[in-house]
Amino acid sequence: MKRRGSALFFLAIALAAPGASRADFLTIPNPDAAYLASTTKLEVTGDQFSTLTSLSDGALTVQFSTAMEILDVPDGWTTWSSPPQSESDTPRVLWTQGPSQVTLNFSSGLSTFGFEAQPDAFGAFGITATFYSGADEVGSITRDVDGNSGALLFAGTVTAGTGPISRVVVSTAAGGFAIAQLRYAIGGTAVPEPSAVLLMATGLIGAGLVRLRRRVRLA
């Protein structure tokens, strides 16, 4: 059922805890500054209430396994969520029009892909995003999402040595759902692993101390 004026409430479904299924697949829980800066947003274009089966910006094309309807928050889709939980509280969303699963196929291999999602029904429901490189699963994220202003981010990045992300399967037991704020990075521009960032910062600090010691000795 379309979210316009919907007031149905459903019992929550308890699914697996959120997280990545492999050590070489890293989840990004919120759309923070690093995630936004390292990815490109795939804008949703077209008239509200129109449908599409693909979305493209010239660099990447996403093909959907089911036709998605374009809706605007709040007049087409009643609620979303607010930063820092989401990128914006009034996005354009793509609604599955009822199906509980959709596959997103990418024209290029990706190092990072993310989107926000919210179930059609009010109440808390589990949504799962499974990331694939060809036929191989590289990671999976499951989060309980509240259909009343509770949209959450489903984003992951593959580390060096892992095949690029070629498709993502999104599913829920709640029935229809909407996705928004699709973001991607092609090739080797993945968000760096937190441990790698820490090592880099430590190295820079160490280099600074060496230069400082040298200056002191020269003085």
Mean pLDDT estimate for the chain: 82
* DSSP 8-class letter at 185: E
Residue 138 lies in a domain: yes
Residue 146 lies in a domain: yes
Minimum mean pLDDT range among 3-7, 50-54, 81-85, 155-159: 3-7
* DSSP 8-class letter at 14: -
State the sign of the Cα–Cα–Cα–Cα dihedral 196, 29, 35, 165: positive
Minimum mean pLDDT range among 26-35, 103-112, 139-148, 187-196: 187-196
Q: What is the predicted pLDDT for the residue at 174?
A: 86
Question: Which two structure tokens, joined as six digits, stand for 29?
Answer: 């829980």
Residue 175 DSSP SS3: coil
Percent of the chain having pLDDT more than 70?
Answer: 75
Residue 203 lies in a domain: no
Question: Which two structure tokens, joined as six digits, stand for 168?
Answer: 């993502």
Residue 18 lies in a domain: no
Residue 15 lies in a domain: no
| Domains in the chain, number | 1
Per-residue pLDDT of 126-149, as tens digits, reads 999 999 999 999 999 999 999 999
Q: What is the predicted pLDDT for the residue at 22?
A: 67
pLDDT tier at 92 (50, 70, 90 boundaries)?
very high
Write out the residue range of the structural domain in which residue 34 sits: 25-191
Residue 20 lies in a domain: no
Per-residue pLDDT of 180-212, as tens digits, reads 999 999 984 334 444 444 444 445 444 443 332
Give the side-chain half-sphere CA count within 13 A for 125.
Answer: 25
Write out the DSSP string of 80-146: ---TTTSS-SS-EEEE-SS-SEEEEEEEEEEEEEEEEEEESSBSEEEEEEEEEETTEEEEEEEEEEE
Mean pLDDT in residue range 60-84: 98
CATH code: domain of residue 63: 2.60.120
Residue 69 DSSP SS3: strand
Peptide bond preceding 18 in cis form (omega within 30 of 0): no
